[in-house]
Structure 1
Amino acid sequence: MQQLETLIRQAEAEVGRQMQVCNACRYCETFCAVFPAMTRRLSFDAADAHYLANLCHNCGACLHACQYAPPHDFAINVPRAMAQLRVRTYEEFAWPRSLGGLYRRNGLAVALATGLGLAVFLVLLLAMRGNLWHEPLAGNFYAVFPHNTLVAMFGIVFLWAILALGMGAKRFWQGQSPGDALPGARAEALHDALTLKYLDGGHGDGCNDEDDRFTLRRRRFHHFTFYGFMLCFAATCVATVYHYVFGWHAPYAFTSLPVILGTLGGIGLLVGPAGLWWLNARRHPLHGDPSQRPMDRGFIALLFASSLTGLILLAVRDTGAMGLALAVHLGFVMALFLTLPYGKFAHAVYRVAALLKYQVERRQPNRLQLGAD
C-alpha cells in the first residue's frame, strides 16, 4: 500500500510539473478540454491532477505540436503523464480499495485465461450432464442452461460491476467539489462523451498517427466499439421486456428486434476492437503509457471474443453444436463482466465525470481572469 501511495504521488507531481510548463506556453490551448481547464489554475493539487488526467483523451496532438517534447530537457509528454496518472486514479478510487491492485494485473493473459477457464468449466458442466452435443433445440438456450440460472449468474456479476464502478466514480466526484451540475452542463458533457469530441485533435482532423499524420481512425473504431456494446446491451434489455412484460419467450426469430440489435452490435464489436488492437500495436512509443498496453489489449480481446462467439452461437443455434457454442460464449461474457470494474472500461466512467466537471467549470466565473481585470 505504501508503494502504491508513492507511485500515485509521483504521478501527480509529474502532471503538475508538466502543466506548469504548459500553462506558461499555452500553444495547445485550443487543442482539447485539458488546456482551457488548465488555464483556470495557477497550481495543480492532487485533485486537479486527477481531473486533468481523466479529461485527457490521449489523442497525441499536443505531443506532436510541443516544442518541449523529448528529447528537450523539459521532457514534456502530456499524453504519457496523463495516462500514467489515470491508472493511478483507478487504483486510488477503486471500490473496494483493496482490489485497486487488480488494474496492474488485469492484462491480456489474465483476461484470456479467465475467459477460457470459465468457458472450459461450462463445457465440462454440460459434458457431465450429457448436454454437450444434442439434437437440435431450435435455438432454445434455456433448454441448455435454465433461464433463472442465467439471470442469477449474470445479474449478480453485472450488478457488482455497476456498484464497484459507481462507488469509484462517486469517490472521485466527491474529491473534486465541482459545484452543482446544471442540466445544460450534464447534456453537453454527455454529448462530448457520446461523440468523442476530443478525439478530433482540436482541429477536426483527428489524432496523430504513429508517423505524425492526422487520422480519425481511432475515433471511428471507438465508435464502433462503444455503439456495438450499447446495441448488444439494448438487445438484452428488449429481450428482457419481451420475456417479463409481454410473456414472449426466447428463442426469437432472426428478424426480431433483439436479434437484429444483437447482430448489429456484434458486428460493431468485431470491427471496433479489431481496429483498436491494430492501432494499439502501431502507436508511437511516446504516445500514452506502453506499460498499460496489456490491460488495454485484455479488454479489447474480451470484447472481440464475446462478440465472435456470440455471432457463432447465432449461426449454429439450430444445430446440435448450440450447447457447446453457448457454453463458450457465456464463459467469455462472464469474464468480460467480472473484469469490467478493474480494467480498461473504467476510463469511460472517470472520463465522463471529468467532462461533467469541465462543463460545470465553464459555466462558472474564471477567478483568475477576474483577478487580472
Structure 2
Amino acid sequence: MQLFDPKAPGNLIPVLNLDESEVQRQMSVCNACRYCEGFCAVFPAMTRRLEFSQADIHYLANLCHNCGACLHACQYAAPHEFGINVPKAMAKVRLDTYAEYAWPQVMGKLYRRNGLALALASGAGLALFLCLTLMVMGNLFTAMPGGNFYGIFPHNTLALMFGAVFGFSVLALTIGVRRFWRNVSPADAPRQEKTAAALEAAANVARLKYLDGGHGEGCNNADDQFTLWRRRLHHFTFYGFMLCFAATGVATLYHFLRDWSAPYPVLSLPVMLGIAGGVGLLIGPAGLLWLNLRRNPEHGDENQKPMDRGFIALLFLVSASGLALLAFRESAALGLMLAIHLGLVMAFFLTMPYSKFAHGIFRSAALLKHAIEKRQPSPINGGSD
C-alpha cells in the first residue's frame, strides 16, 4: 500500500500493513538484543539497520529460512509480553510479498486460496480432460509399439502446449522477482564484488546453508530438538527437480540435434536422469509432507500450510505418475498413464508462479542481496561492520 506525503508532493511513501508493522516491531526488539546474531543471515543483515523500511522488511522476510532456531532461543518469546516470534512474522510477510510482486497482479490472489485444493483440482481436472480426449480418439487403452507415446500425442503438439505454458510461468516469475529486486536491491557495487557475491549466493542456495540453524545441527521442527532432515529432504526435492529438468533437456537435444526420437531405452541418459530425479521427487516431497504435518504451529503461518502441502503433493504426484508411465509404457495402460502424467505436469506449470515454488526464487534474490550488501561498508557503526 502507498500514499502521498503531503510534505513532499509527488513522492510516494509506503504504508506498512499489519504483518509488515509486526516484523518492524520485532526487528526493533531483536536489534536491541542481538542474542541470535550468529544464527542465520537475517540477523547480521538486521544489525546493518537502525530503522526498517518496507523494502528492508520484504528483504529480511525472504532471507529467513524459517529454521525455528531463533524462536526457541528467544527470551522474549511468549509468554513474555513482547511476544517475539520471528519465524511466524516473517512467514506472513513472505506471503504478502509473493502476492504483491506477482505478475499479472490479479493472479497474486491465488497465493491466498486453498493451495492444496487448487493444486489437486487443477491436476485432476486436466488429467480428466485428457482422458476424455483420448477416449473420444480411441487411444485411452491402446498399446503403442515400443511404448511410443508420440503415437498418442504428436511431439510438436506437446512441445507447443507445454512450451507455451512453461514459458509463461518463467516470464511471470522473472517479472515478479525483478519487481522484488528493484525494490530491495542494494546500492551499486563494483563488478568484482558482484561476481563474488553471485558465486557465494549460488553456493548458499545449492547447499541450503541456512537450513542448518546457524550451528550445523539443523532446524527445529516439532519441538526444540534439532534435526537435519528438513535440509536433507529439501536437497532430495531440489536436486530431484533439477535431474528431471536435465532429463527433459537432454531428450530435447537428442530430438532436435541428433534426430533421436523418444521413447528411449531404460539405460539411456534421459531415462536414467529421469528415474534418479523421479526417485528424489518421491523421497523429498513425501518426507517434507511428513515434517509439515508434525511441525510446531508456532514455527510459521498456519494459513499457508494448504499452499505448502499443495505444492508438495503436486510434486509428489508428478513424479509418481512419471515413474508409472515409464513402468507401463509398453502396456495398454499407456494412454491412461500419459493423460494422468501430462495433466499433473500441466497443472504444476500453470500454478508454478503462484505456488510455494516462488519462495525459492525470491529467497535466492534475497541471498544475492545479502552477499552483495555484506561486502559493502556498514551504514552504521562508523561505516564498518
TM category (shorter chain) comes to: over 0.9
Corresponding residue to 1:84 among 88, 92, 100: 92
* Counterpart residue number, 1:216: 228
- Residue pairs, 1:180-259, within 5 angstroms: 180=188, 182-259=194-271
- Alignment partner of 1:295 is 2:307: yes
Alpha-carbon displacement from aligned partner over 1:254-292 (angstroms, at most 9, x marks no partner): 000000000000000000000000000000010111110
Structure 1: gaps (5+ residues):
none
* Counterpart residue number, 1:142: 150
How many correspondences in the alignment?
370
TM-score of the superposed pair, with normalisation by structure 2? 0.94
Question: What is the distance in 1 between the residues matched to 2:60 and 2:283?
Answer: 30
Kindly provide the amino acid, as one letter, of the partner of residue 95 in structure 1. Answer: W
Kindly provide the amino acid, as one letter, of the partner of residue 314 in structure 2. Answer: L
Question: What is the distance in 1 between the residues matched to 2:185 and 2:331?
Answer: 57
Question: What is the distance in 2 between the residues matched to 1:293 and 1:7?
Answer: 27
* Counterpart residue number, 1:159: 167
Change (3 A) 1:130 1:302: same
Maintained 8 Å contact 1:295/1:344: yes
* Counterpart residue number, 1:123: 131
Maintained 8 Å contact 1:137/1:319: no
The alignment partner of 2:297 has SS state of coil
How far is 1:106 from its partner?
Answer: 4.7
Change (3 A) 1:282 1:219: same
* Counterpart residue number, 2:367: 355
Change (3 A) 1:44 1:8: closer
Change (3 A) 1:196 1:7: farther
Alpha-carbon displacement from aligned partner over 1:121-154 (angstroms, at most 9, x marks no partner): 0000000000111134212110010101100110
Moved more, 169-178 or 37-46: 169-178
Change (3 A) 1:12 1:217: same
Structure 2: gaps (5+ residues):
3-13
Question: What is the distance in 2 between the residues matched to 1:99 and 1:10?
Answer: 22
Kindly provide the amino acid, as one letter, of the partner of residue 138 in structure 1. Answer: G
Maintained 8 Å contact 2:378/2:384: no
Give RMSD over aligned pairs: 1.6
Alpha-carbon displacement from aligned partner over 1:150-196 (angstroms, at most 9, x marks no partner): 00110011001100000000001101131346110000001111110
Alpha-carbon displacement from aligned partner over 1:20-60 (angstroms, at most 9, x marks no partner): 00000000000000000000000001000000000000000
* Counterpart residue number, 1:285: 297
Corresponding residue to 1:112 among 102, 112, 120: 120
Corresponding residue to 2:381 among 340, 358, 369: 369
Corresponding residue to 1:304 among 284, 301, 316: 316
- Alignment partner of 1:102 is 2:102: no
The alignment partner of 1:367 has SS state of coil
Question: What is the distance in 2 between the residues matched to 1:47 and 1:370?
Answer: 23
* Counterpart residue number, 1:59: 67
The alignment partner of 1:138 has SS state of helix
Corresponding residue to 1:45 among 42, 49, 53: 53
Kindly provide the amino acid, as one letter, of the partner of residue 101 in structure 2. Answer: F
Change (3 A) 1:249 1:80: same
Kindly provide the amino acid, as one letter, of the partner of residue 48 in structure 1. Answer: D
Question: What is the distance in 1 between the residues matched to 2:259 and 2:185?
Answer: 46
* Counterpart residue number, 1:315: 327
Moved over 4 A (4+): none
- Residue pairs, 1:318-329, within 5 angstroms: 318-329=330-341
Question: What is the distance in 1 between the residues matched to 2:266 and 2:339?
Answer: 21
